[in-house]
Amino acid sequence: MKAQIIRIGNSRGIRIPKAVIEQCQFDNEVNLNISDQKLIISSAEHPRANWDNQFRALADNQDDRLLISDSNSTTTWDAEEWEW
């Protein structure tokens, strides 16, 4: 896809089609990175956004059990040698 560089006030910019913005799930803010003469535009959303809601939903559904048991992780070194 090609886009024209246009004048926006004293700056220059590009218009991003609405369909592209929706497909990329961009909100009101994006990150801009430059690498090897390429402009990379990515969502500014934080990777762990809404985790608190997801964890709460797991607890509400009683689906927050441990997958690996802690009870077998102690060794004789843990019991005999370890000191606080």
Q: What is the largest CA-CA distance in the chain?
A: 72
Question: Which residues touch 58 (CB under 8 Å, ≥6 apart)?
Answer: 64
What does the pLDDT read at residue 72?
A: 63
- Domain membership of residue 62 as a residue range: 6-66
In whole angstroms, give the CA distance from residue 41 to residue 33. 7
| Closest C-alpha among 34, 37, 30 to residue 16 | 30
What does the pLDDT read at residue 78?
A: 76
Give domain status of residue 78, yes or no: no
Measure CA of the first residue to CA of the last residue in the chain; give whole Å.
61
**Mean pLDDT of successive 10-residue stretches along the chain, which has 84 residues:** 92 94 90 95 82 89 78 72 79
DSSP 8-class letter at 10 = T
Give domain status of residue 14, yes or no: yes
Give domain status of residue 16, yes or no: yes
Domain count, the chain: 1
CATH number at residue 52: 2.10.260
